[in-house]
Amino acid sequence: MIDYFKRNGVLVKELKEDIGNYKKGDLVIDMAQAKRGYANHILYKGSNESAWAAMYAELLVNFPDMRGFKSEPVFADGLFNGKLGEVTTTRATRTSEIDPKAPYYVIANTSASAVKAVNQAIAQGKSVYLTDDGYIVDRDTFASLLPNYAIYGDALYKVPSGPTLKPMKVYSPNYHYNWAGVDAPAHTSLVLEKLGFQIVNTPEEADVVILESNRFDASIFGKKPTLVIGGEAMQKLEKLGVLTGFDAEKLKGGSDYEGLMKAIIDDQDPLTSGYKKNTLFYSNSGNWIEKVPEHFKTLMSIAPSDYYIAGWWPHNDVLANKVMAISGELMGQPLFVYAGNPTNRQHPVHFFRWVTNAIFGSKLASLMDYVPAKEPDQVVVPIHNQTSNPQPILAKKDTPKVLLPQKETTVENGESVQALTYQVGQSFQESPAKAQLPQTGEDTTAHFILSGFLLAVSGGFLLLKKKEVE
């Protein structure tokens, strides 16, 4: 977001010290600047415009909720006088220390960056395991991803066992715009390609099929795991009659109604990984799931009251407690149905993981106890440039035995290398040096979590804070 604001001429500052609840490193946007209108537009949560009889296009911008960070308006006059400086951070925050004794790390499934990192690790042939709150990789793999991806991870002192994730090929039929007479890639295809998935041209090539338009028939089902995304695809699914007991509903003329709403999810299901129980739902296709098929599980429903945040959805009062996401099986293959539009115009980044969670599935790794490897009793030490009479290596008194080299070899640069083997007592073994992360950019404040966009209206500030779970 820092770069985004700078590209659009918005001045962003950084707190140089703690002030009340605001911490050093938080970002501040002073509304006393020429581009305050643009900053307000980007960070404004939006309003309920459902009283209008018609609407030309989507209303919601709301970068904080749609992209996954917090912004807080501040109206106290002079609160930050003399306390602001230039932004010093050079990259998004991420895990800053690694425990060298941890064999594995769990990458938190809280951002699009996490999905990109996981796909990169898979592409490199690394073992990646699925867990209920993220992805398990070995410590060295986690360290190798940190320079390029803003990810967070927790040390895992267990050993994962079970299926590993593989590179996923995705097929999603193109849109067809009748008014223009052209096809265009599905929004989900564009998003997934950026996240590191391979997009293919036929369902036969794919590992997963994603349907977000009405350009499919009954023959698509029962062959691959399938995702049905958005109102248009749900209406086609109901019309085909292949899923007994399924009913997609909408209001008359409501196929393009839009809304950001409060919702409640089953936060114990792997398909909702990374989201809090009380979360948000976004749609611009005006549908909900009126009837859930037998043996299907409800993953998300609209909150019972005070749920509508912003958008244009006339008569949205009928949406209380309506089901918005379900999962189950159809013809022996997993089926995930989501009534909203989590990839619309590639804007609602916070919702992308509803799609990626369903792609990776729900086969979780099991965890076994980790037994650290025993320190070796013998160590082989190469001695360079010693062609004769090598000097003995000193050892502790409790390990006086030294085995002299028995064979001399020559390496490519002409140096002589002699292998020296000696016994090492436990008290003589040094602890491994602490793993160091690559040094990139300047030193930055440890708790800058994109923590602040102090935005507000007229003459105020905006503080931006990154959400704990995106």
From 31, 33, 59, select the one nearest 47 (Cα to Cα). Answer: 59
The residue-averaged pLDDT of 118-141 equals 98
Nearest CA-CA partner of 447 in 3, 26, 21: 26
CA-to-CA distance for 50 and 235, rounded, in angstroms? 23
* pLDDT of 48 over the 70 cut: yes
Residue whose entry in the numeric block shows the structure tokens 């090492």: 424
pLDDT, one tens digit per residue, over 213-233 is 999 999 999 999 999 999 999
Flag whether pLDDT at 451 surpasses 70: no
CB 226 within 8 A of CB 207: no
Length of the chain measured in residues: 470
DSSP string across 67-130? IIEEEEEE--TTTTTT-EE-----S--------TT-SEEEEE--SHHHHHHHHHHHHTT---EE
Supply the pLDDT for residue 68. 95
| Higher pLDDT, residue 421 or 465 | 465
| Alpha-carbon distances of 175 from 186, 192, 348, rounded to whole Å | 6, 16, 19
With the C-alpha atoms ordered 156, 159, 164, 167, is the resulting torsion angle positive or negative?
positive
Q: DSSP characters for 400-456?
A: --EEPP--EEE-TTS-EEEEEEEE--GGGPPPPPPP-PPP-SS---TT-SS---B--
Q: 115 pLDDT exceeds 80?
A: yes
Token code pair at residue 446: 């440890």
CA angle at 221 for the pair 166 and 255, rounded to the nearest 5°: 105
Mean pLDDT to the nearest integer, 114-118: 99
CATH number of this structure's domain 169-355: 3.40.50.880
Task: Please state, as a whole number, how many other Cβ atoms lie within 10 Å of the Cβ of residue 270.
Answer: 18
Distances 332 to 145, 223, 226, 275 between C-alpha atoms, Å: 36, 8, 11, 28
The average confidence (pLDDT) of the chain is 86
Of 57, 27, 24, 60, residue with least CA distance to 41: 60
pLDDT value of residue 439: 45
- For residue 64, give both structure tokens: 């904080």
CA 379/CA 285 separation, integer angstroms: 66
Give dist(CA 385, CA 417) in Å, integer. Answer: 7
pLDDT per position as a tens digit, 265-302: 999 999 999 999 999 999 999 999 999 999 999 999 99
DSSP codes of every residue in 174-202:
PEEETTTTEEE--HHHHHHHHTTPEE-SS
What CA–CA distance (Å, rounded) separates 319 from 229? 18
The answer to which of 283-292, 349-358, 376-385 has the lowest mean pLDDT is 376-385
- Region(s) of the chain under CATH 3.40.50.880: 169-355
The CA-atom distances, in angstroms, between 126 and each of 138, 142, 169, 273 are 9, 10, 18, 22
- pLDDT tens digit sequence for 393-406: 444 444 443 333 33
Six token digits for residue 305 = 């009251």
How many Å apart are CA 110 and CA 276, to the nearest integer? 10
Give the SS3 label for residue 210. Answer: strand
